[in-house]
Amino acid sequence: MLQPATRRPSRLPKYAEVCLEALVERGLADFISLGGAFALLHYLDYRATRDVDAWWSPDAGLRDRERVVETLKEALRPHGTVQTRAWGDVVSVELEDEIGETFSFQIAARSAMLESPSRARSSWKRSYEPAKLD
């Protein structure tokens, strides 16, 4: 099936790029598959979103999942208060920054997959402009 070209969304969540760069730099990006409104923004830039939704890759073992969650926490910690919540098959790494804005990176277990996900970009830094957190 022909995949449409992706492009940088004009309205990325403020801390999404920080998280994704950290996962790529540590070689962990292929343990998740982006989803929800955040993933759709790369094809159709139709609305802003305040979080990132993702699914665990079938190759992500328990230790891999722990490393992904810890990496997300470490990436967000310099920006405010970070907490992790889990319910059902979902883990959510959540940030409240210094001015009270919130951000979450939620990863769920997938019950079915339509097709294999695309591989992560070699680096968000090379494919997009660096994040600016003003």
- Delimit the domains of the chain by residue range: 16-113
Q: Are strands 90-97 and 102-108 parallel, antiparallel or unpaired?
A: antiparallel
Does position 7 have pLDDT exceeding 60, yes or no? yes
Cα separation of 10 and 6, whole Å? 12
Mean per-residue pLDDT over the chain, rounded: 82
Cα separation of 122 and 49, whole Å? 24
Cα 61 off chain centre by: 18
Interval 63-92 mean pLDDT = 96
Cα separation of 44 and 24, whole Å? 23
* Radius of gyration of the chain measured on its C-alpha atoms: 14
Pick the CATH number of 16-113 from 3.30.70.120, 3.90.1170.40, 3.30.2130.10, 3.10.450.620: 3.10.450.620
Does position 19 have pLDDT exceeding 70, yes or no? yes
